[in-house]
Amino acid sequence: MIINSREMLRQERQRFLNMLAGQKKKIYVCAGTGCVAGGSLEIYERLKELLEEKRVPCELELTFEREEERVGLKQSGCNGFCEMGPLLRIEPSELLYLRVSLDDCEEIVERSIIRDEIIDRLIYQKDDIRYPKQNEIPFYSHQKRVVLEDCGQIDAESVEEYIAYGGYEALEKCLFDLSGDDIIKTIYDASLRGRGGGGFPAGRKWSQVRLQKEEIKYVVCNGDEGDPGAFMDRSIMEGDPHKMLEGMIIAGIASGAKEGYVYVRAEYPLAVKRLRKAIEEARRIGILGTDILGTDFSFDIKIVRGAGAFVCGEGSALTVSIEGDRGMPRVKPPRTVEQGLYGKPTLLNNVETFANVPMIIRNGADWYRSYGTEKSPGTKAFALTGNIVNTGLIEVPMGTELKKIIFDIGGGVRDGKAFKAVQIGGPSGGCLTSEHLDLPLDFDSLKKVGAMIGSGGLVVMDEDTCMVEVARFFMNFTQNESCGKCVPCREGTRRMLEILERIVQGKGRMEDLDLLEELATTITATALCGLGKTAAGPVVSTLKYFREEYEAHILEKRCPAKVCQALKTIYIEAELCKGCTKCARVCPVEAIRGKVKEPFVIDQEACIKCGACIDSCNFGAIKEA
């Protein structure tokens, strides 16, 4: 069936809503990557079997209108509360079950679906308070989910359900009510800034592409998020792919492009699968292809899978990779808006940016600006990971204070440890410390303290984290991901990594700190692309806020966090040692010597600090310093 007019789209939307209304209950099994890894697809299949066994009318997809009431069983995208997966949501009660297993399925069907009862052990509980409804759980109640609003709450693989809940309404408005200039003015008035890291005004970029005289133009979506610990774009592509596609089609109308590309990393197989299906469904009903909704506008989208090179997140490297060559950045100008993909004007934004567009068009610029700050309006999705109680995917208004994210939404630091720092923006970002807990997270506030939002990764670190090792880890990542095209990045990051490795091995010198800062300044000023220009961020910020840790490694040959292997000292307290010989027997290098029933000693020269002796001692005599 091809939807070939505005009226037909509206009729189909109502028809799909009527179909959904016939589902007296809806079961949404989280089928995001995290929950799938925890067995959610097996839970989905088991629920389907049980509903059939108990003769409960069940519907897996919207196919035609029926008079009988039935239960809808669906695979949703990521709910965000990854720490508690696999997750299962039941509508219309907004009931959210956590850490669901196969063994729970029969009870869920019998009690919650058939008898409308709540299973207490599966709902969120804290401080003796029960939170059966999803939006009441503190993790959700402190958020404002706009881009992620439908993730976890609609069928991730159903274009009918997307349309029923207002999907492609913005596209309809752009095709019939707005000109390209009108669309760009709305995006410009909303002050939408790119969510891929730089925060460049989207309206300005769209306008620049529209003004190009070339007949052929392209829209490219960057789905190649490569920051360690980041999975915002992946979750949108998995959980609400049509929202991103709708944003791309609207960008095509505004810029004059007829073709779009989604560049997504090959390590995201589920996102690729869902995107492919979404594109096929959009083509099937006439949302993609020629003469969309009966107009003379044509637009199509292709998927290109990247090989996982971090540098391909940079615009010019990404477009070169789509063309089939090795992803390497080029000197600018010309910029991508002038000469991008195949040398043609190219409108390039990331997944989250495009996913904001339909809601801005539908609700207006003033609505969008009602969230966030004056210069950074709207919301931002963050991936909250590390030493945090509630790991997961969150969305908050721009300008939300760091402490609210860490403690109200994230539940604080795991195991009651003290908060030490958070790495924001991945390898391109920097560290925020306890002195920044009141800092509002927006583009400009972070820039003032030498950090950046990046794509939105937040890696929380506790008191047991070695900040020198953190800097070494990110520099190792950046150095490995350098394309090698420019000397400052290729050689400069290698020199910085060598220095950091020397420091964590206890072989550093105080002059190394000055050299690190000098190299950081040079690389930042002279590197060709954004990867090199921001590569030194983690080193610069850790040197600024945790210089004493670097000095302890160099001057005292000591890692204050007791993380750096080469600086550990394992010793035996003579008063506690019983001379049982167990530690000597497990030592792989025979570094422990002594006589039976007398205190043993460790040869520090021979010890490889593996810790096997610590684990074997029943008397707590072996210590680590």
**Per the structure block, which two tokens stand in for 89?**
């949501």
Determine contact, residues 242/282, Cβ cutoff 8 Å.
yes
pLDDT of residue 569: 87
Specify the DSSP class assigned to residue 102.
Answer: G
Phi, psi of 600 (to 5 degrees): -95, 165
CB-CB contact of 345 with 315 (8 Å): no
Measured between alpha carbons, how far is 147 from 165 in angstroms, rounded to an integer?
A: 14
E strands present in 442-585: 457-462, 570-572
Q: What pLDDT sits at residue 565? A: 85
CA distance 73 to 56: 11
Long-range contacts of 558-561 (CB under 8 A, 24+ apart): 559/466, 559/468, 559/469, 559/504, 560/466, 561/463, 561/464, 561/465, 561/466, 561/467, 561/469
CA atoms within 13 A on the CB side of 532: 26
With a cut of 50, list the residues of the chain below it in pLDDT: none
Q: Which DSSP symbol is given to 82?
A: G
Specify the amino acid at residue 530: G
CATH topology for 568-624?
Answer: Alpha-Beta Plaits (3.30.70)
What are residue 572's phi and psi, to 5 degrees?
Answer: -115, 125
Determine contact, residues 309/290, Cβ cutoff 8 Å.
Answer: no
Q: Which CATH class is domain 467-555?
A: mainly alpha
For 21-43, letters b (16+ CB in 10 Å) and e give ebbebbbbbbbbbbbbebebeeb
279-287 long-range contacts, Cβ below 8 Å, gap at least 24?
279/245, 279/303, 281/159, 282/159, 282/242, 282/245, 284/1, 284/159, 285/1, 285/2, 285/3, 285/159, 286/2, 286/3, 286/4, 287/3, 287/159, 287/168, 287/171, 287/245, 287/249
CATH class of 9-136: alpha beta
Cα 402 to chain center, whole Å? 17
Is the Cβ–Cβ distance between 316 and 308 less than 8 Å?
no
**Phi/psi of residue 119, nearest 5 degrees:** -95, 105
Amino acid at 367: W
Q: Which fold has domain 159-369?
A: Rossmann fold (3.40.50)
Query: Which fold is adopted by the domain 379-462?
Result: Ubiquitin-like (UB roll) (3.10.20)
**Type of residue at 591:** A
Q: How far apart are CA 305 and CA 196, in angstroms?
A: 18
**3-class state of residue 27 by DSSP:** strand
Tokens of 141: 């109640």
What pLDDT, on a 0 to 100 scale, did the predictor assign at position 452?
A: 85
d(CA 302, CA 291): 18
Q: Which residues pair with 367 in a beta bridge?
A: none
pLDDT at site 267? 87
Q: Where are the domains of the chain?
A: 9-136, 159-369, 379-462, 467-555, 568-624
C-alpha dihedral (119, 120, 122, 125), degrees to nearest 10 = 160
CA within 13 Å, CB half, 435: 5
Q: How far apart are CA 146 and CA 117, in angstroms?
A: 30
* Phi-psi sector, 210: left (phi>0), alpha (psi -120 to 50), beta: alpha
Q: What are the DSSP calls for 601-620, one per residue? A: EE-TTT-----HHHHH-SSS
Q: What are the CA-CA distances from residue 417 to residues 207, 414, 460, 549 (Å)?
A: 49, 6, 11, 19
pTM above 0.85, yes or no: yes
